[in-house]
Amino acid sequence: MTPYLNSEIDTARCGVSNDHFPPLDSRGRESQDSFQPKISEISCFLTSFSGQTGRVSPVSLLATERSICRLRLDLIEMLRLSLHAVDYATKGYALGLVEFALRSSSGRKKLEYLGHTIIAASDELCEGELDDSQQGFVETVRTISAALSSTSRQANEIASHTVALLRGGIRRNSRELVQLGERADRLLRLCIVAFMKQKVEYAEAVLRYVDEWNHGIEGRLSGPNFGAPGTRDAREWAIAESLTRIMENLRHISVASLLPYRS
């Protein structure tokens, strides 16, 4: 566990892992339990984002609510698949396991499909009558969806470079990259809690951690723990770049999660 993550993140990580995201076993397999949000969570969430819509017909209102509910469920699935990609990619590099890295992209097609579905559904919702809270939620979903798509692509890049390194007989993973991968994985879990449980303080924590990390990025990725460019394989520098982009995406996700709560 990296020293700069406090107990709040560890608590959130355990909560997500136990309830929604089963941990990997020694063979890299997930639990077969389906990832299904509780009905009470969905109802509570929709209530908080559904304001008074004036003289809108009950049928139209119900259709909008159903579309927003579907949008939320699709984004939750994107969050799950993105965490899967990041988790396997970073662990594949850290542990030097080709089989872990290869499993990172197993949900790629479904994630791409969900991303397109969310864009289409969001456009359709925006053509109708939405109150301010509903509009804010739709914008949040679109932003988070785009960031998750980018995050998954970067995770697949990490996995690809890891496989190439290992199959080329190179097994000299950087401690700095391992720690950065662990941090990205845990911050993504915290982003998930922030969205699903409407925990503003968690989104703010992710934003703070990413900003603090950005302040010293050049020193960390060029310091003694990572090594000079001439001593590292080009693929490791590509992995470092992908992890940096993932951190940027986590910032976008945390900012978007705060959008519905801004006056």
Q: For the chain, list the domains and their CATH numbers.
A: 57-261 (1.20.58.220)
Predicted confidence (pLDDT) per residue in 238-254, tens digit: 999 999 999 999 999 99
What are the tens digits of pLDDT across the range 30-73? 544 444 555 444 444 444 444 444 555 677 778 888 999 999 99
pTM for the complete prediction? Answer: 0.74
206 vs 8: CA distance, rounded Å: 11
Q: Measured between alpha carbons, how far is residue 126 from residues 55, 148, 177 in Å?
A: 18, 21, 41
Q: Rounded to an integer, what distance in angstroms lies between the CA atom of residue 64 and that of residue 50? A: 10
**Cβ burial, residue 89 (10 Å; 0-12/13-18/19+):** buried
Q: What is the pLDDT of residues 164-223, one digit of tens each?
A: 999 988 776 788 999 999 999 999 999 999 998 888 999 999 999 999 888 876 445 554
- Locate 8 and state its tokens: 């709040």
Q: Cα separation of 219 and 80, whole Å?
A: 32
Q: Which residue has the tokens 């960390």?
A: 220
